[in-house]
Amino acid sequence: MNKERLVCSFSYQARMDAINTPIIQLNNIRFSWPKSEIPILDIESFVVQKQEKVFIQGASGSGKTTLLGILGGVLLAQSGEAIILETNLNKLSGKQRDNFRVNHIGFIFQMFNLLPYLSVLENVLLPCHFSESRRKQVLQRGNTLAEGASRILKDLGLEDPDLLSRSVNELSIGQQQRVAAARALIGNPDILIADEPTSALDADTRESFLQLLFKECQAFQTTLVFVSHDASLAKLFDRVVKIANQNLQESK
């Protein structure tokens, strides 16, 4: 618990002192799956600055998901270091990494992001049950957790108050992805990691979804790492990085 607090205050300090220090820093990362000799990722250096919107493009099987696993501290590379918010993930225990992840990183996946047996509200508030710091963040802004949740949902274009108590199964896929985004953003995490969140959406909703996501990241000062195979979205981002030959290459 002490260490946990240390991590929090540390990252807070980091945010205050050095706006320009990198928020994500990968150094000489080599990762291979247990039974294979060949590394799936071999990254010399990858840096993301605060509030950047980074698009990582890669074909399936290129190691995109592995990269996100490393960024989220779910996977540990065999060599090299992953420093997120000035915290070296390699030096944390499994439990500390879990705590660190839920406190600082929100996730959105391809589709079926939501637990079908919980209401919209319950789904959005899930991170608050596992992270004290995100819970406090919500309560600082609004009066209650539910208010905080409905505010973000409203910002993401889900205004209908009845929606909160509705089953997530009644929502369209576009709505479901926006609920997932609300869940990822609630409690103000520093980083939002999105893994192909638009692949199940049609072209029209895809772009409007992204615009909403950008707007929220702006408002919350959240750094966005967005992974997709779909190059057509790349133009909307500040920066585009390609995964090729186990490495990351900046593309202009």
Partner 1 sequence: MPILILAFKSMWNRRVTAMLTVMMIAFSVTLLLGVERIRQGARTSFANTISGTDLIVGARSGPIQLLLYSVFRIGNATNNISWKSYQQFAQHKRVKWTIPISLGDSHRGFRVMGTNTDYFKHYRFRKDQILTFQEGKAFASVYDAVIGAEVAASLGYRLNQKIVITHGISQAALLTHEDKPFQVVGILQKTGTPVDRTIHVSLEGIEAIHIDWQSGAPPLPGEEISAAKAQKLDLQPKEITAFLMGLKSKISTFQLQRQINDYRKEPLLAILPGATLHQLWSMIGVVEQALFVISVFVVLTGLIGMLTSILNSLNERRREMAILRSVGARPWHIFGLMFSEAGMLSFFGVVGGVILLYLGIWIGQPIIESQFGLFIAIEMLKPYDFAILVAIVVMGFFMGGFPAWRAYRNSLADGMTIRL
Return residues touching partner 1 (CB under 8 A).
65, 68-69, 72, 74-75, 94-95, 98-99, 101-103, 107, 109-110, 112-118, 122, 125-127, 129-131, 183
The residue (of 181 and 240) whose beta carbon lies closer to partner 1 is 181
The CB-of-129 to partner 1 minimum distance in angstroms stands at: 5
Closest CA to 240 of 228, 226, 224, 251: 251
205 SS3 class: helix
The residue (of 51 and 110) whose beta carbon lies closer to partner 1 is 110
The CB-of-226 to partner 1 minimum distance in angstroms stands at: 16
Which two structure tokens, joined as six digits, stand for 44? 């010399």
The residue (of 101 and 206) whose beta carbon lies closer to partner 1 is 101
The CB-of-83 to partner 1 minimum distance in angstroms stands at: 19
> Are the beta carbons of 16 and 50 closer than 8 angstroms?
no
The secondary structure of the chain in percent helix, strand, coil, rounded to multiples of 5, reads 45, 25, 30
CB-based burial label for 132 (10 Å; 0-12, 13-18, 19+): middle
The CB-of-117 to partner 1 minimum distance in angstroms stands at: 3
Which two structure tokens, joined as six digits, stand for 86? 């000035």
The residue (of 125 and 240) whose beta carbon lies closer to partner 1 is 125
